[in-house]
Amino acid sequence: MTAPSRVSRDGSARPIAMRLDSIAEWHSEARTDRSAVDWSPLPTTLSTTMRRWFPLIAALIAAVQAAAATSKPMIDSPSKTVATEERITFGGGCFWCLEAVFQRLVGVTKVVSGYAGGKVANPTYESVCTGDTGHAEVVQLTFDPTKVSYEKLLKVFWAAHDPTSVLEEDAFKHGKLYPKGTAYQGADVGSQYRSIILFETPAQKAAAETSKAEAQKEFKKPIATEIVPLQKFYAAEDYHQNYYNQNKSRNSYCGYVITPKLEKLLKKGLIAEEPFLK
């Protein structure tokens, strides 16, 4: 097949393939000795233009080649994604209370009320309230450790409830007999209100155990908080989410129980007055 031709400005026709080969050859010669380049195959106008711009083009080519020689292939320096957020799950009485507390901490980016620590899949609020599912009411926190440390969260956790609260003898409450050792927080009685930390990493477990030992110095009775691995977390029903912020003026429980708790923590400088999460 005859190579396609293109008519140059001087009227001569040259095969395109031949012209490309010639340019490649001129470039090769120019890399070693630009004075040795034979410019005659080019049309006069093009030759003059290339003579004028060739030094600049050659310099740019050299710069690009030098940069390529000193740079490392991308495969040798893979990008590293650093996890900036962590999760921890706490239980300490009614989840409405803990949710309101941790919504008022800088660095906590998400708080979800739910159920964990039990043996029944997809529990409902009603089933958890029976105490038969084994689940505790909990809040799952997502937090940025560069803004709030896990140790700070633990400190707030110990201050936000009484981790020593278990019945010291059998007790009849709310029309039901609860055996000795049953967890409670205030008037809320049952295993679903027990104090519990559900960790996701060995480091979280170790830190929780260290913090628990330190917190014990603040309590006369032994801390009953469970420290166990998180197996499964179930988010509670929508109407339980962001409960205090939306219902503090409508539900007397909020005014009698949650508001005083928040005021106490605020005086200790552990939380902010207004929620960062709404």
Domains of the chain: which residue ranges?
A: 8-76, 86-267
- Separation of alpha carbons 2 and 64, rounded Å: 36
Its pTM stands at 0.71
Contact 182, 167 (CB under 8 A): yes
More confident residue, 55 or 232: 232
The predicted model gives 182-208 an average pLDDT of: 97
C-beta atoms surrounding 139 within 10 Å: 27
Q: Give the angle 245-249-254 at the CA atoms, nearest 5°.
A: 70
pLDDT tens figures, 217-272: 999 999 999 999 999 999 999 999 999 999 999 999 999 999 999 999 999 999 99
* Total number of residues shown for the chain: 278
The predicted model gives 164-181 an average pLDDT of: 94
The predicted model gives 78-85 an average pLDDT of: 56
Question: Token pair of 101, please?
Answer: 């507390």
Q: Is 71 helix (H, G, I), strand (E, B) or coil?
A: coil
More confident residue, 94 or 18: 94
The predicted model gives 26-38 an average pLDDT of: 48
Contacts of 40 (CB under 8 A, 6+ apart): 47
pLDDT tens figures, 121-157: 999 999 999 999 999 999 999 999 999 999 999 999 9
- 174 falls in which pLDDT band (50, 70, 90)? confident
Residue 28 burial by Cβ neighbours in a 10 Å radius (0-12, 13-18, 19+) = exposed
Contacts of the segment 206-212: beta carbons below 8 A, 24+ positions apart = 207/150, 207/151, 207/154, 208/154, 211/151, 211/154, 211/155, 211/158
Residue 157 burial by Cβ neighbours in a 10 Å radius (0-12, 13-18, 19+) = buried
* Placement of tokens 């981790």 in the chain: 163
More confident residue, 104 or 69: 104
C-beta atoms surrounding 193 within 10 Å: 25
Q: How many CA atoms lie within 13 A of 247 on its CB side?
A: 17
Q: Is the dihedral of CA 156, 107, 262, 253 positive or negative?
A: negative
The predicted model gives 67-91 an average pLDDT of: 61
For residue 74, the model assigns a pLDDT of 41
Active-site residue set: 94
* Choices 3.20.20.140, 3.40.190.80, 3.30.1060.10, 3.30.479.30: CATH for 86-267: 3.30.1060.10
Q: Is residue 36 over pLDDT 70?
A: no
The predicted model gives 57-83 an average pLDDT of: 53
For residue 84, the model assigns a pLDDT of 87
Question: Token pair of 68, please?
Answer: 């390529």
Q: Is residue 4 over pLDDT 50?
A: no
Residue 37 burial by Cβ neighbours in a 10 Å radius (0-12, 13-18, 19+) = buried
Q: Is residue 14 over pLDDT 60?
A: no
Task: Write the single-letter amino acid at 179.
Answer: P
